[in-house]
Copies of this chain bind each other. A is one copy, B any other.
């Protein structure tokens, strides 16, 4: 079945989808509603056409600027710096952050040849210089690359009279001490808070 095989091959290139899941999805689609298949197929085929990067903050945008930069209701004193555009959506959908965003486009990773010049540090500095921000929250990943980028941000924002913070690291809520990795545990001990 050439057509099924080809669909299975395409599906199994998606993240988290192995050969078995790809087959299962393909057979599901053969039995699924035609309208649904067309809607899904079209959404996949055109997703890149309709989404670009916000020229101000680098988040995904459907209009000329992203919904966060366009939203007058957001707190213009707060700026949250993230690595990737999807991190913006993750943080915005948490519902506890109502400020603006800045997407670096990755993290400093000398081993892969990603230095500060490949990321949007310059425009971050420019935005802080020209904006009304009182606090910059660094929300890069709690990895070596994310930490390096965080240190770099602290460095370039030093000239400004602005609070720079970093998301707390530690044990995940609902997690079990027994399953915490050594690094997370070490961070949660070093960063212990009075109680």
Q: Which residues of A contact B (CB under 8 A)?
A: 1-4, 6-7, 10-11, 13-17, 21, 23-30, 32, 34, 36-48, 50-51, 60, 62, 67, 84-86, 89
Please name the residue on chain B nearest to A33 by beta carbon. B48
Rounded to whole angstroms, the CA-CA distance of A28 and B12 in the bound complex is 13
- Tell me how many chains of this kind the complex includes: 2
**How many angstroms between the C-alpha atoms of A86 and B1 in the bound complex?**
11
Chain B neighbourhood of A85, CB < 8 A: 27, 30
Shortest CB-to-CB span from A92 to chain B, Å, is 9
Whether the pair A7, B47 counts as a contact (CB closer than 8 A) is: yes
* Known A25-B15, A28-B14; contact A7-B62, beta-carbon cutoff 8 A: no
Complex CA–CA separation, A130 to B6 (angstroms): 36
Given contacts A3-B51, A43-B3, A45-B42, contact A86 B37 (CB under 8 A): no
Bound CA span A67–B44, Å? 30
A44 neighbours in B (Cβ, 8 Å):
7, 29, 37, 40-41, 44
